[in-house]
Amino acid sequence: MSLPAPVRPLLVLDLDETLWHGVRVPGGLKLSLRPHLAEFLTAVSTAYDLAIWTAATEDWMLEGLAGVQAATGFDLRERAFFLWHRERCTFRRDAEGQFAFFKPARKFKARWIRGRYPPERILVVDDRAENYACSYGHLVRVSEWCGEEGDDELQRLAPYLLSIAAEPNLRTLEKRGWRLKG
Ligand SMILES: [Mg+2]
């Protein structure tokens, strides 16, 4: 008898310097999308459900996601299991004593989430490891992107994420060397 297939995993995406780089300009947001973003979203959504967790404000998030849809046709606002912004973060001192936003992954244990996605089936993609200081097990760290041309992080990340999607426990899987495995 074969084992039941694991539930479809949830991929929680950071936005700023992970999927895009945005600058506030008079009248709105000047958004640059990370190279290969459209292919990345299309590829990973075949194996993962998606969600957003950003430390930015709700307005910034929604404006940026509208820009992603306009440029790629991919509507994360419609597809995301949740859209979490600054108000879902905590604001406290970091290791250097400076106040900063953190993303407390204990929030994944909420009944409405864990009933569908147990914690071992949730990954986060973020350029700031400090955001998940209490829960590195979920993290796939990407490099910070500030608009450099020729960046291939998302192009390399997609096949890696697809290669591990069926792992029963994504939390305990060693992910720090992902660039060597993708
Ligand atoms: Mg970021």
Statement: residue 2 has pLDDT above 80:
no
Q: Provide the terminal-to-terminal Cα distance of the chain, rounded to the nearest Å.
A: 31
18 CA to middle of ligand 1, Å? 5
Looking at the chain, the whole-number percentage of residues with pLDDT higher than 90 is 78
The rounded distance, in Å, linking the Cα atoms of 123 and 143 is 16
Domain boundaries, the chain: 10-181
Q: In this predicted model, what pLDDT tens digit does every residue of 15-48 receive, in sequence order?
A: 999 999 999 999 888 999 999 999 999 999 999 9
CA of 95 to the centre of ligand 1 (A): 18
Type of residue found at 1: M
Beta strands in the chain (DSSP E): 10-13, 20-25, 28-33, 49-53, 83-84, 90-93, 99-102, 122-126, 139-141
Amino acid 178 reads: W
10-181 carries CATH number 3.30.465.10:
no
Asked whether the beta carbons of 125 and 18 are under 8 A apart, the reply is: yes
- Kindly give the distance from the C-alpha atom of residue 165 to the centroid of ligand 1, in angstroms, as a whole number: 23
Distance 128 CA to ligand 1 centre (A): 6
The whole-number pLDDT of residue 6 equals: 64
pLDDT in tens, 57-107: 999 999 999 999 999 999 999 999 999 999 988 888 888 888 888 898 999
How much distance in Å is there from the Cα of 168 to the middle of ligand 1?
27
Name the DSSP letter for residue 3. P
